[in-house]
Amino acid sequence: MRLGLLTACLPGESLDDIAGWASGHGYDALEVAAWPDRPGRDWEASHLDVEHFDHAEAARVRALFDGLGLGLSAIAYYENNLHQDPAVREATHDHLRRCIDAAALLGVGLVGTFVGRDVSLTVAENMRLAEKVLPPLVSYAAERGVRLVIENCPMEGWHPDGYPANLAYSPELWGWLADLGLWLNYDPSHLVWQGIDPVAALDDHVDRVLHVQAKDVELDPWARNRYGVFGRVIDKQEWVSGWWRYRIPGLGEVDWRRVVDTLHQAGYDGVVSVEHEDPVWSGSLERVQQGLTIAQRTLSPYVQI
């Protein structure tokens, strides 16, 4: 098992600089963000230009990682593959295919994404939609030696009322994902605030886990008693529930000793990739890097053994 980080927390830094820092600060691998480079969306990291990726750039990236002793665990493009606008949905699928192509050139077997949701439809209707539009993407990946791993984030901010907008939020749906040929990028933080034991959920589905994201979550039970599990309604802020927030591993509720031990017992030998979304350790390059250092110190005794 190796410890990695998702590069999305450093959208303003180059892949070369991130790789150099990670290698010097106890990390073994990178999960590389590859969102499109779009004006006005500076928070989206584009550390691989997959739209123009070719053999020469693949060779350069491989040489960079090999020279630093780093692995490349996955290419990351977490977007709504069931978006209600057909044009947006198709553009998302097209970029996902470019991510798959880049992964194939790099010899990386995994691309991370979301199922998503058409928020104008019910969950049942979305499942039928997914059964039509996702299998061709799974096949496209398989033909190139790549598998799609789905993060179990609810993406409640995509829904106008804060309800789950990514059909992987519940372990009830993970068998359905398997039937579609999709795999899990397991993140325990999303389960905790839903009231789900992340260790029990992992134990039941660990055979479908090909990648792991390490993020923690801090709960405020008093605020939950006021707002309920779906969060604040009056004076609601986008992506802010009012009673929980994501934290760096070790600063929240997740029992990382038990999570990683469950992975070890199941024979998992992939990457545990830190996903830094902690508002406390954000705001500058130095604070983000300090947060990543805290995560490395927390997880390395369990992962890097």
Residue 193 one-letter amino acid:
W
User: Alpha-carbon distance 225 to 210, whole Å?
Assistant: 36
**pLDDT band for position 28 (cuts 50, 70, 90):** very high
For the chain, percent of residues with pLDDT exceeding 70: 100
Three-state DSSP class for 186? strand
Looking from the CA of 187 toward its CB, the CA atoms found within 13 Å total: 33
Residue 40: pLDDT band with limits 50, 70, 90: confident
**Residue recorded with tokens 């090909």:** 210
Query: Minimal CA–CA distance to 164: which of 201, 116, 197, 212?
Result: 116
Q: What pLDDT, on a 0 to 100 scale, did the predictor assign at position 7?
A: 98
Compute the Cα dihedral for 162, 238, 198, 206 and give only its sign.
positive
Tell me which of 207 and 39 has the higher pLDDT: 207
What band does 41 get if pLDDT is binned at 50, 70 and 90? confident
Look at residue 42 and tell me whether its pLDDT is greater than 90. Answer: no
State the pTM of this model.
0.97
In this prediction, residue 291 carries a pLDDT of 98
The CATH label, of 3.40.630.40, 3.50.50.60, 3.20.20.70, 3.20.20.150, for the domain at 2-212+255-303 is: 3.20.20.150
Amino acid at 189: S
State pLDDT tens for residues 59-110.
999 999 999 999 999 999 999 999 999 999 999 999 999 999 999 999 999 9
Tens digits of per-residue pLDDT, 222-264? Answer: 999 999 999 999 998 888 999 999 999 999 999 999 999 999 9
pLDDT of residue 304: 83
Q: What are phi and psi of 266, to 5 degrees?
A: -85, -5
The mean pLDDT value of the chain amounts to 97
d(CA 56, CA 32): 18
So what's the pLDDT on residue 48? 97
**C-alpha to C-alpha distance for 210 and 268, rounded to whole angstroms:** 8
